[in-house]
Amino acid sequence: MTPPGTARTPRGGEPLLRLSGVSRSYGERQALHPLDLELFPGTCTALFGHNGSGKSTLLRLACGRDRPTTGTALFDGRPVDEDDPQVRARVAVTGDTVAFYPDLTVREHLELITVAHGVAAADGWIGQVLADRRLTDHADQPPSALSSGQTQALQLAAALVRPRDLLVLDEPEQRLDPSARTRLAELLRGEKADGVAVLLATHQAELVHAVADHVVVLEDGKVLLRGGPEVLHELDGGR
Ligand SMILES: Nc1ncnc2c1ncn2[C@@H]1O[C@H](COP(=O)(O)OP(=O)(O)OP(=O)(O)O)[C@@H](O)[C@H]1O
Protein backbone atom coordinates (compact mmCIF):
# COMPACT_ATOMS: atom_id res chain seq x y z
CA MET A 1 0.00 0.00 0.00
CA THR A 2 2.34 2.70 -1.24
CA PRO A 3 1.42 6.28 -2.12
CA PRO A 4 0.18 6.99 -5.66
CA GLY A 5 2.91 7.63 -8.19
CA THR A 6 5.54 5.70 -6.23
CA ALA A 7 8.01 3.99 -8.52
CA ARG A 8 10.07 1.37 -6.70
CA THR A 9 13.70 1.24 -7.74
CA PRO A 10 14.28 -1.99 -9.68
CA ARG A 11 16.94 -4.19 -8.14
CA GLY A 12 18.96 -7.13 -9.30
CA GLY A 13 18.94 -9.57 -6.41
CA GLU A 14 21.18 -7.41 -4.23
CA PRO A 15 20.31 -6.73 -0.60
CA LEU A 16 18.81 -3.30 -0.08
CA LEU A 17 20.45 -3.08 3.32
CA ARG A 18 23.78 -4.71 4.12
CA LEU A 19 25.29 -4.50 7.59
CA SER A 20 28.77 -6.00 7.80
CA GLY A 21 30.46 -6.42 11.15
CA VAL A 22 28.55 -3.50 12.65
CA SER A 23 28.99 -2.91 16.35
CA ARG A 24 28.20 -0.02 18.68
CA SER A 25 29.85 0.92 21.95
CA TYR A 26 28.88 3.69 24.33
CA GLY A 27 32.07 4.44 26.25
CA GLU A 28 33.07 1.20 27.93
CA ARG A 29 29.73 -0.44 27.27
CA GLN A 30 29.37 -2.54 24.13
CA ALA A 31 25.67 -2.28 23.29
CA LEU A 32 26.03 -4.29 20.10
CA HIS A 33 28.73 -6.82 19.21
CA PRO A 34 29.80 -7.21 15.56
CA LEU A 35 26.91 -8.49 13.50
CA ASP A 36 26.09 -9.10 9.82
CA LEU A 37 22.64 -8.63 8.40
CA GLU A 38 21.26 -8.46 4.86
CA LEU A 39 17.75 -7.34 4.05
CA PHE A 40 16.15 -7.89 0.65
CA PRO A 41 13.17 -6.10 -0.92
CA GLY A 42 9.83 -7.76 -0.13
CA THR A 43 11.13 -9.47 3.00
CA CYS A 44 10.88 -8.81 6.73
CA THR A 45 13.54 -9.29 9.38
CA ALA A 46 12.49 -9.09 13.01
CA LEU A 47 14.79 -8.29 15.92
CA PHE A 48 13.67 -10.01 19.10
CA GLY A 49 15.10 -9.90 22.61
CA HIS A 50 14.75 -8.63 26.14
CA ASN A 51 14.92 -4.97 27.12
CA GLY A 52 18.41 -3.64 26.60
CA SER A 53 19.48 -6.46 24.25
CA GLY A 54 20.47 -4.02 21.47
CA LYS A 55 17.45 -3.98 19.14
CA SER A 56 16.99 -0.20 18.98
CA THR A 57 20.74 0.30 18.70
CA LEU A 58 20.76 -1.93 15.63
CA LEU A 59 17.73 -0.16 14.13
CA ARG A 60 19.43 3.23 14.54
CA LEU A 61 22.48 1.95 12.66
CA ALA A 62 20.27 0.44 9.95
CA CYS A 63 18.45 3.69 9.22
CA GLY A 64 21.50 5.94 9.47
CA ARG A 65 20.52 7.73 12.66
CA ASP A 66 23.69 6.52 14.29
CA ARG A 67 27.12 5.40 13.07
CA PRO A 68 28.61 2.00 13.87
CA THR A 69 31.71 1.90 16.06
CA THR A 70 33.06 -0.81 13.75
CA GLY A 71 31.85 -2.24 10.45
CA THR A 72 29.82 -0.80 7.61
CA ALA A 73 26.13 -0.18 7.06
CA LEU A 74 25.16 0.18 3.39
CA PHE A 75 21.77 1.12 1.96
CA ASP A 76 21.58 0.31 -1.74
CA GLY A 77 25.37 0.19 -1.84
CA ARG A 78 25.98 3.57 -0.12
CA PRO A 79 26.86 4.24 3.52
CA VAL A 80 23.51 4.76 5.22
CA ASP A 81 23.13 8.26 6.59
CA GLU A 82 19.80 9.82 7.51
CA ASP A 83 21.01 13.15 6.12
CA ASP A 84 21.55 11.61 2.66
CA PRO A 85 18.64 12.74 0.42
CA GLN A 86 18.45 9.20 -1.05
CA VAL A 87 17.97 7.78 2.42
CA ARG A 88 15.46 10.45 3.41
CA ALA A 89 13.45 9.72 0.28
CA ARG A 90 13.46 5.94 0.56
CA VAL A 91 13.70 4.97 4.23
CA ALA A 92 10.65 5.43 6.46
CA VAL A 93 11.20 5.09 10.20
CA THR A 94 8.69 4.84 13.02
CA GLY A 95 9.26 4.83 16.74
CA ASP A 96 8.67 6.97 19.78
CA THR A 97 11.07 9.57 18.43
CA VAL A 98 8.65 11.07 15.89
CA ALA A 99 7.83 14.53 17.23
CA PHE A 100 4.51 16.20 16.56
CA TYR A 101 3.73 19.91 16.28
CA PRO A 102 1.25 20.91 18.98
CA ASP A 103 -0.59 23.37 16.70
CA LEU A 104 -1.11 21.07 13.70
CA THR A 105 -3.92 18.56 13.41
CA VAL A 106 -3.46 14.88 12.70
CA ARG A 107 -4.42 15.42 9.05
CA GLU A 108 -2.13 18.46 8.72
CA HIS A 109 0.82 16.38 9.94
CA LEU A 110 0.18 13.83 7.22
CA GLU A 111 -0.31 16.59 4.62
CA LEU A 112 3.03 18.08 5.60
CA ILE A 113 4.76 14.75 5.09
CA THR A 114 3.16 14.17 1.68
CA VAL A 115 4.18 17.67 0.54
CA ALA A 116 7.76 17.10 1.76
CA HIS A 117 7.91 13.83 -0.19
CA GLY A 118 6.19 15.13 -3.31
CA VAL A 119 3.25 12.71 -3.16
CA ALA A 120 0.77 13.64 -5.89
CA ALA A 121 -3.02 13.83 -5.30
CA ALA A 122 -2.45 13.19 -1.63
CA ASP A 123 -5.90 14.06 -0.21
CA GLY A 124 -7.58 10.77 -1.06
CA TRP A 125 -4.49 8.85 -0.10
CA ILE A 126 -4.30 10.53 3.33
CA GLY A 127 -7.99 9.78 3.84
CA GLN A 128 -7.36 6.12 3.12
CA VAL A 129 -4.40 5.88 5.51
CA LEU A 130 -6.43 7.66 8.24
CA ALA A 131 -9.30 5.21 7.72
CA ASP A 132 -7.02 2.16 7.73
CA ARG A 133 -5.47 3.26 11.02
CA ARG A 134 -8.90 4.14 12.51
CA LEU A 135 -7.96 7.82 12.81
CA THR A 136 -10.62 9.41 10.61
CA ASP A 137 -12.65 10.68 13.58
CA HIS A 138 -9.52 12.31 15.01
CA ALA A 139 -8.20 13.83 11.79
CA ASP A 140 -9.03 17.40 12.83
CA GLN A 141 -7.68 17.12 16.36
CA PRO A 142 -4.12 17.86 17.51
CA PRO A 143 -1.96 14.82 18.36
CA SER A 144 -2.19 15.79 22.04
CA ALA A 145 -5.85 14.75 21.95
CA LEU A 146 -5.02 11.17 20.93
CA SER A 147 -4.85 8.15 23.20
CA SER A 148 -1.51 6.32 23.41
CA GLY A 149 -2.69 3.65 20.97
CA GLN A 150 -3.97 6.31 18.57
CA THR A 151 -0.64 8.12 18.86
CA GLN A 152 1.08 4.89 17.89
CA ALA A 153 -1.32 4.62 14.93
CA LEU A 154 -0.36 8.16 13.88
CA GLN A 155 3.34 7.28 14.09
CA LEU A 156 2.64 4.46 11.68
CA ALA A 157 0.44 6.62 9.43
CA ALA A 158 3.29 9.14 9.16
CA ALA A 159 5.46 6.41 7.61
CA LEU A 160 2.69 5.09 5.36
CA VAL A 161 1.69 8.33 3.61
CA ARG A 162 5.16 8.70 2.12
CA PRO A 163 7.10 6.61 -0.43
CA ARG A 164 9.49 4.01 0.98
CA ASP A 165 11.70 1.11 -0.04
CA LEU A 166 12.74 0.31 3.52
CA LEU A 167 10.41 0.51 6.51
CA VAL A 168 12.05 0.48 9.95
CA LEU A 169 9.78 0.03 12.95
CA ASP A 170 10.66 0.00 16.64
CA GLU A 171 8.12 -2.05 18.58
CA PRO A 172 5.15 -1.01 16.41
CA GLU A 173 2.83 -3.31 18.39
CA GLN A 174 3.23 -1.27 21.57
CA ARG A 175 -0.02 0.12 22.98
CA LEU A 176 -2.12 -1.36 20.17
CA ASP A 177 -5.22 -3.36 21.03
CA PRO A 178 -5.63 -6.89 19.62
CA SER A 179 -7.58 -5.81 16.54
CA ALA A 180 -5.07 -3.06 15.76
CA ARG A 181 -2.27 -5.63 16.14
CA THR A 182 -4.01 -7.88 13.64
CA ARG A 183 -4.30 -4.95 11.21
CA LEU A 184 -0.61 -4.17 11.78
CA ALA A 185 0.34 -7.71 10.74
CA GLU A 186 -1.86 -7.43 7.63
CA LEU A 187 -0.31 -4.08 6.83
CA LEU A 188 3.24 -5.42 7.07
CA ARG A 189 2.38 -8.41 4.86
CA GLY A 190 1.04 -5.88 2.35
CA GLU A 191 4.29 -3.91 2.56
CA LYS A 192 6.25 -7.04 1.69
CA ALA A 193 3.90 -7.82 -1.18
CA ASP A 194 4.57 -4.30 -2.48
CA GLY A 195 8.32 -5.01 -2.45
CA VAL A 196 9.15 -2.96 0.66
CA ALA A 197 11.93 -4.31 2.89
CA VAL A 198 10.76 -4.33 6.51
CA LEU A 199 13.06 -4.28 9.55
CA LEU A 200 11.37 -4.27 12.92
CA ALA A 201 12.12 -4.70 16.60
CA THR A 202 9.38 -6.38 18.54
CA HIS A 203 8.53 -8.13 21.80
CA GLN A 204 5.57 -9.92 20.25
CA ALA A 205 6.21 -13.47 19.03
CA GLU A 206 2.83 -13.50 17.25
CA LEU A 207 3.89 -10.58 15.07
CA VAL A 208 7.14 -12.38 14.22
CA HIS A 209 5.28 -15.50 13.20
CA ALA A 210 2.78 -13.47 11.18
CA VAL A 211 5.19 -11.39 9.11
CA ALA A 212 8.89 -12.20 9.56
CA ASP A 213 10.95 -14.22 7.09
CA HIS A 214 14.03 -13.98 9.25
CA VAL A 215 14.51 -13.44 12.97
CA VAL A 216 17.57 -12.28 14.86
CA VAL A 217 17.34 -12.91 18.60
CA LEU A 218 19.64 -10.62 20.55
CA GLU A 219 20.88 -11.03 24.09
CA ASP A 220 23.26 -8.54 25.72
CA GLY A 221 24.12 -7.14 22.29
CA LYS A 222 25.03 -10.54 20.81
CA VAL A 223 23.19 -12.79 18.40
CA LEU A 224 21.69 -15.60 20.47
CA LEU A 225 19.74 -17.23 17.63
CA ARG A 226 18.91 -16.47 14.03
CA GLY A 227 16.81 -18.16 11.38
CA GLY A 228 13.14 -18.47 10.50
CA PRO A 229 10.39 -17.55 12.99
CA GLU A 230 10.50 -21.13 14.31
CA VAL A 231 13.74 -20.30 16.16
CA LEU A 232 11.56 -18.56 18.75
CA HIS A 233 10.41 -22.00 19.88
CA GLU A 234 13.95 -22.57 21.13
CA LEU A 235 13.57 -19.76 23.66
CA ASP A 236 12.27 -20.44 27.16
CA GLY A 237 8.52 -20.77 26.95
CA GLY A 238 8.54 -19.51 23.37
CA ARG A 239 8.59 -16.01 24.91
N1 LIG B 1 22.83 6.64 24.07
C2 LIG B 1 23.23 5.63 24.86
N3 LIG B 1 24.21 5.82 25.76
C4 LIG B 1 24.62 4.80 26.56
N5 LIG B 1 24.11 3.56 26.53
C6 LIG B 1 23.12 3.32 25.66
C7 LIG B 1 22.62 4.35 24.78
N8 LIG B 1 21.63 3.81 24.02
C9 LIG B 1 21.52 2.52 24.41
N10 LIG B 1 22.40 2.24 25.38
C11 LIG B 1 22.58 0.93 26.04
O12 LIG B 1 22.72 -0.04 25.03
C13 LIG B 1 22.04 -1.24 25.42
C14 LIG B 1 21.07 -1.64 24.32
O15 LIG B 1 20.01 -0.68 24.30
P16 LIG B 1 18.85 -0.74 23.22
O17 LIG B 1 18.03 0.49 23.39
O18 LIG B 1 19.44 -1.02 21.90
O19 LIG B 1 18.03 -2.03 23.70
P20 LIG B 1 16.63 -2.61 23.19
O21 LIG B 1 16.85 -4.05 22.89
O22 LIG B 1 16.09 -1.78 22.09
O23 LIG B 1 15.73 -2.48 24.49
P24 LIG B 1 14.14 -2.22 24.67
O25 LIG B 1 13.46 -3.53 24.37
O26 LIG B 1 14.03 -1.86 26.12
O27 LIG B 1 13.74 -1.11 23.76
C28 LIG B 1 21.38 -0.96 26.75
O29 LIG B 1 22.19 -1.49 27.77
C30 LIG B 1 21.35 0.54 26.84
O31 LIG B 1 21.48 0.98 28.17
Ligand 1 atom nearest to CA at 24: 12
**Pairwise CA distance, residues 135 & 97, whole Å:** 20
Torsion of CA 212, 177, 155, 185, to 10 degrees: 20
pLDDT the model gives residue 166: 97
Q: What global pTM score does this model have? A: 0.93
Instruction: Cite the DSSP H helix spans in 4-105.
Output: 55-62, 85-90
Please, which residues bridge with residue 39 across strands? 17
Ligand 1 midpoint to CA 153 (Å): 24
Nearest to 71 by CA among 18, 17, 19, 21: 21
Measured from CB, residues less than 6 Å from any atom of ligand 1 are 26, 29, 31, 49, 51-57, 201
Q: Residue 4's pLDDT is what?
A: 59
Can you tell me the distance from the alpha carbon of 82 to that of 92, in angstroms, rounded to the nearest whole number? 10
CA 42/CA 197 separation, integer angstroms: 5
Phi/psi at 34 (5° precision)? -55, 135
State the distance from the centre of ligand 1 to the C-alpha of 134, rounded, in angstroms.
Answer: 32
The CATH code of domain 17-99+164-238 reads 3.40.50.300
- Closest residue by CA, ligand 1 atom 12: 31
C-alpha to C-alpha distances, 175 to 95, 150, 155, 171, 183, nearest whole angstrom? 12, 9, 12, 9, 14
Mutating to test ligand 1, I would choose from 30, 35, 56, 94 the residue with most ligand atoms within 8 A of its C-beta, which is 56
Using most ligand atoms within 8 A of CB, pick from 57, 199, 216, 222 the residue to mutate for ligand 1. Answer: 57
Return the exposure string of 164-181: e unless at least 16 CB atoms fall within 10 Å of the residue's CB, then b.
bbbbbbbbbbbebeeebb
Q: Which atom in ligand 1 lies closest to the alpha carbon of residue 221?
A: 14
Interface ipTM > 0.90: yes
**Which among 212, 17, 1 is positioned nearest to 125, based on CA atoms?**
1
What pLDDT is attached to residue 71?
98
**From the alpha carbon of 27, which atom of ligand 1 is closest?**
4
Phi, psi angle pair for 110, to nearest 5°: -70, -35
- Enumerate the domain spans of the chain: 17-99+164-238
What is the block-wise mean pLDDT of the chain (239 residues), using blocks of 10 residues?
58 86 96 98 97 96 96 96 92 82 95 93 92 96 94 94 96 92 95 97 96 98 97 77
Q: Ligand 1: which of 55, 58, 59, 61 to mutate, judged by most atoms within 8 Å of the beta carbon?
A: 55
